Amino acid sequence: MALVFIFLYAPIFLLIIFSFNAGKSNAVWQGFSLEWYGKLLNNRLIMQSVYTTLLVSLLATVIATIAGTFAAIGFFAMRRKVREPLMTVNNIPMMNADIVTGVSLCLLFVAFFNGWGSFAAWFNSLGLFHLPTRLTMGFGTLLIAHITFNIPYVILSVGPKLRQMDKNLVDAAMDLGCTWMQAFWKVILPEIKPGIVSGALTAFTMSIDDFVISYFTAGSSASTLAMTIYGMTKKRVSPEINAISTLLFVTVLVLLAIINIREARQERLRQTRLS
């Protein structure tokens, strides 16, 4: 077991250590320095990638959380015979290989763009307003792809909280004069809020850490941080890569720690209520 942990985490610790190396070597320690973190902040390519990654991750998280929450509520309201097959379909993207998802989304976008040209030419001939006749993959397709693979994780997080909720609470609220939306805000949302937060954190972590699906759907006009790091490693592993990889590892580690701490607290609260 110790050997497994050594093989898993020793390279990461070496990467973190040499990100503070004063020299360019990845094998010889030449003293402690924050030089590469300073150069990292002045690297326009990397900072643009960080901005794109954060923007895509935040937008995808917000949209996927809203869509996934209402989808989970819809699944919860269905009969069991209908809900179970749909939940199986929902779980497929999480079990599917990322490269299959990435390639399939890429082919979908290409097919859509090929058909879009003919539709736009026909629509423009009507003279209502002008549509672009040529679409390419970029930030928009990247965002759609991230929303697509994030929604199942939100549904999986919110679903158990809905099953733990007393079904009679919503009926009681509506009997007392609440509309469905009022019942949602005052009854359902407080009950499922922990699941929503956990789903949002998971979605953000998956987005910020994704490479394969982003690689196939970003096109040439957008680049995430993971894609930029991959491109830089084709030449040589510079200390700047060590620095940005360290920051990325720490970010994901903090998010996972927050998720695990929240789940542990929720489990303790649930056991306290039962006892």
The model's pLDDT over 260-275, given as tens digits with 9 standing for 90+, comes to 787 778 778 777 766 6
**Residue 92 pLDDT more than 90?**
no
> What average pLDDT does the chain have?
84
Of 126, 145, 118, the residue nearest 56 (C-alpha) = 145
Identify whether the C-beta of residue 154 lies closer than 8 Å to the C-beta of residue 68.
Answer: yes
- Flag the least confident range among 23-27, 131-135, 171-175, 259-263: 23-27
Task: Give the highest mean pLDDT range of 3-7, 31-35, 47-51, 178-182.
Answer: 47-51
CB contact set of 70 (below 8 Å; sequence gap of 6+): none
> Which residues lie across from 239 on neighbouring strands?
none
Residue pair 75/87 in contact by the 8 Å Cβ criterion: yes
Task: Please report, for residues 12, 48, 59, 253, the alpha-carbon distance to residue 249 in angstroms, rounded to integers and kept in the order given.
Answer: 9, 19, 21, 6
For the record, the structure tokens of 59 come out as 């937008």
H or E, element range at 248 = helix 239-274
Give the model's pLDDT for residue 11: 79
Report the Cα 136 to chain-centroid distance in Å.
Answer: 23
Q: What is the pTM of this model?
A: 0.82
